[in-house]
């Protein structure tokens, strides 16, 4: 089940963690890593391939009024996207001294799509109140996935590389 099917959540944006498929982590390692970040994270819908590597999962962060679906994608589509992203991100990466990330990016043949969801207010008429969504969980999860895979976290909407330098 995806968070799209949960009426308490609304999709906000999709982020990417691009990496070499040989660095794809085991589901158990991802669970341990994310649980160590925050004991309140709820990990759901866990799916692995026959080798025990992460296929997909959902994460709910009640403290941040957020949830995420994480899905593995690989192949030619990712190679093409990585090359295109490297070209699009070049000016910002050069300005931020992240040229080495561009070189690594074009070698990526796998990615995790991280779909970020906002928990809707209950009752819905409270929607006019101040926004409760906190991006902390998203940033922590992206960072953890990037470290586990030696990958590069990207916000494709803004054209930003999110990895620490």
Q: What is the pLDDT of residues 75-121, one digit of tens each?
A: 999 999 999 998 888 887 777 777 888 888 999 999 999 999 999 98
Domain count along the chain: 1
Note down the domain range covering 18: 3-161
Widest CA span of the chain, in angstroms?
48
Inform me whether the pLDDT recorded for 28 exceeds 50. Answer: yes
What distance in Å separates the CA atoms of residue 74 and residue 13, rounded to the nearest whole number? 20
Question: What are the tokens at 9?
Answer: 């959540």
What distance in Å separates the CA atoms of residue 15 and residue 59, rounded to the nearest whole number? 14
Cβ atoms of residues 58 and 69 within 8 Å: yes
Place of tokens 């990615």: 111
> pLDDT tens digit string along 36-67?
999 999 999 999 999 999 999 999 999 999 99
């Amino acid at each position: 089940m995806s968070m799209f099917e949960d009426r308490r959540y609304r999709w906000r944006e999709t982020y990417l963690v691009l990496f070499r498929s040989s660095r794809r982590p085991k589901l158990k390692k991802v669970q341990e890593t994310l649980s160590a970040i925050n004991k309140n994270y709820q990990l759901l819908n866990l799916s692995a391939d026959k080798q025990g590597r992460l296929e997909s999962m959902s994460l709910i962060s009640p403290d941040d009024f957020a949830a995420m679906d994480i899905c593995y994608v690989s192949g030619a589509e990712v190679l093409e996207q990585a090359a295109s992203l490297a070209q699009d991100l070049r000016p910002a990466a050069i300005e931020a001294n992240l040229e080495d990330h561009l070189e690594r990016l074009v070698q990526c043949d796998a990615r995790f799509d991280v779909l970020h969801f906002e928990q809707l207010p209950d009752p819905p008429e409270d929607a006019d109140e101040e926004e409760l969504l906190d991006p902390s969980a998203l940033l922590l999860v992206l960072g953890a996935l990037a470290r586990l895979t030696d990958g590069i976290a990207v916000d494709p909407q803004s054209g930003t590389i999110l990895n620490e330098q």
